Amino acid sequence: MSKEIEGIKCSTCGKGEINFEVKKEYPTKIGGIAFIVKNARIGTCSNCEEEIVDAKEVEKWENERNRQLIEKDLLFSSEKVIILRYLLDLTIKEFALLLGVTDIAVEGWQQNGLPLGPTSLLLSMLYEEAEKTDKVLHPILDFLEEQQKEREKLIGR
């Protein structure tokens, strides 16, 4: 534990001091997924008992959670999103349009990956095909483009 961050004042009550301690196992939720953080560094106010976690620590937790999800094959990793987009030769905008999501969603995936669900399964299938050859991809891309056009017709654009 680093000494310099110790002794900071609590921003909630303004009275107590924050004392940091390392908890061996700390249950929390990240992105809606329950997760136990090992060796979590938690600050507690000596006055109001407010718990404080600094941004660097949260980042560490998120990385650890993603690493665990990748191990369990429950996360389509951020690297894979970037590689897939590169293999398909699509911009963020084109990629988003193809999948019927926003640019912001794709940017988020590129930073944090995306948890198991219909979209990550589709991306996994595309990724597998993209790794083999880009010839196989055209039917899939054509299909997605068709789907996108159908959706646009439905919402009357």
Residues near Zn ion, by CB under 5 A = 10, 12-13, 16, 45, 47-48, 50
Cα Rg of the chain (Å, integer)? 21
- Burial status of residue 138 (CB atoms within 10 A of its CB: 0-12, 13-18, 19 or more): exposed
Q: Which is nearer to Zn ion, 18 or 97 (CB)?
A: 18
Q: Which is nearer to Zn ion, 17 or 64 (CB)?
A: 17
Q: Which is nearer to Zn ion, 46 or 102 (CB)?
A: 46
Contact 137, 125 (CB under 8 A): no
Residue 87: CB atoms within 10 A of its CB come to 15
How far are the Cα atoms of 27, 130, 132, 144 from residue 88, in angstroms, in the given order? 39, 7, 12, 13
Q: Which is nearer to Zn ion, 13 or 22 (CB)?
A: 13
